[in-house]
Amino acid sequence: MVALALAPLVAALPGGTPVAQGAGAPGRGQAGAAAAAAATVQGTEAGGSTGRAETAAAPSSAVPAPPPQDARAAILVDGATGQVLYARNADVAMPMASTTKIMTALLAIERGDLEQEIVTGERAFGVEGSSLYLALGERRTLEELLYGLMLRSANDAAVAIAEGLAGSVETFVGWMNQRAWDLGLRHTRFADPHGLSSRDHYTSARDLATLARVAMANPTFRRIVGTREYRMPWPEKRAERVLQNHNRFLWRYEGATGVKNGYTRAARGALVASARRDGVELIGVLLGAHPTGMYRDMARLMDWGFAHFEPLQLVRGGETVGSVPVDGGRRDRVPVVAAYGSRWLVPRDEPAPAVERAVQLAEPLRAPLAAGTRVGTLVVRVDDQVVDRIPLLSGASVAAAPAWAAARHALAGWAEPALLAVAAVLGLLVGVRWRRHVMARRRWRRRVAAFDPMMWYAFRPRDPGAD
């Protein structure tokens, strides 16, 4: 890894001090802030960027404590970056009830075709709990079943989807657990696609927030969970099934965008909620909560987050952040631009934090180089804490230099050493010549001293000094 100090920018940007510590890791082509967040959680699976790892920290001392919640575990995160604004018992494993269906829906969207027709089998027919009341042998598209799954919280739709896509519930559950492992959800295990099981079926608030971030980055998932009412044709009864979203938070909270609620006797209330205000989307999770009071508690937690934090722009998408050297090209350096923008939530009305941006090259660059080529990573730090790693792209193309130019460049590189070598050789020759001259004069003087003075003129040798 070649690290360049050409862009350490330490800037005082308006906004306040960082409230969470952690490393930005990573994913996340870039199609927007939400997609960037998802790509970072998924790491290399999402497309080869360095990605962003989830952060975890308590609120800053400058921020008042959030209102209490009647829940065993709670967490509030930035939907774009995973920055944790508040967490309590966030890594304790506990039942998740119907929030299980977030994974069920995400997998179905990723692996299935929305127009695919699925036939209701015996295992799906008559499943207990919330239901779409599918008839045995009833045919529904995957999209219709997904609306039933996420709005009506239909357990029969969950089983029908699992069997229709994987061939069996057990195989689909294996997919769910593999996907959880790929996302780094180490406190999560699935035993069914709907959440009725209480044994060997659990998650943590942090894992559920991570899963929700990835799912909400999927446009189809976001559209479904953000729907309040959906009308499904019901030819058998010459009518329509009117599906209303059971997630009361979506109806009651201004700016709500999703995600899923749930309840079982073992799990109590479970709520994953998201809301957007002023360009910031927060995701909250309550587990082991009061089944009706959880909506009020979540609204208060969201209000607290929106009221006390604001976004600090760290880098803008397409921004030129420096330049890097290129070998063998018509130009020696090329500008580099950020593949996408990045921000960080900071407490309102606080002193500005120090922001440092450093360019890292995976390897030296050689021409030809096309514009938009991935050339390195921009490491962003807030108060000495890494918060993001953004892919860097070449801001211009660099053509390979002609052969004669390359040769000239190579010779130019050797010119200075060659001149030094020549100077050294000449100095050595001059030194040898001077030493010979001095030694010859000494020999001449000795010979002169050995002759009789009377015969000196007749037998004098030539004075070397006369040369």
List residues with catalytic annotation. 98, 101, 153
Dist CA 213 CA 216 (whole Å): 5
Tell me which residue has tokens 């802030």.
Answer: 33
Dist CA 187 CA 121 (whole Å): 32
DSSP 45-88: GGTSS---PPP--PPPTTSPPPPP-SSSEEEEEETTT--EEEEE
Give the length of the chain.
Answer: 467
As given in the structure block, the two tokens for residue 190 are 């699935």
Nearest 10 degrees: CA dihedral of 173, 175, 180, 182?
Answer: 160
Q: What angle, 0 to 180 degrees and rounded to 10, lies between the N-to-C axes of helices 101-111 and 142-151? A: 160
Query: Coil, helix or strand for 98?
Result: helix
Long-range contacts of 137-146 (CB under 8 A, 24+ apart): 138/236, 141/114, 141/115, 141/116, 141/117, 142/108, 142/112, 142/113, 142/114, 142/115, 142/116, 142/117, 142/118, 143/114, 143/115, 144/232, 145/108, 145/118, 146/105, 146/108, 146/109, 146/114, 146/224
What's the per-residue H, E or C state across 114-144? CCCEEECCCCCCCCCCCCCCCCCCCEEEHHH
As given in the structure block, the two tokens for residue 323 are 């330049």
Going from the C-alpha of 276 to that of each of 110, 155, 209, 245, the distances in angstroms are 25, 29, 15, 19
Q: Which residues pair with 391 in a beta bridge?
A: 377
**Phi and psi of 144, rounded to 5°?**
-65, -40
Dist CA 353 CA 312 (whole Å): 10
Helix (H) / strand (E) containing 200: none
Going from the C-alpha of 211 to that of each of 125, 180, 407, the distances in angstroms are 28, 8, 55
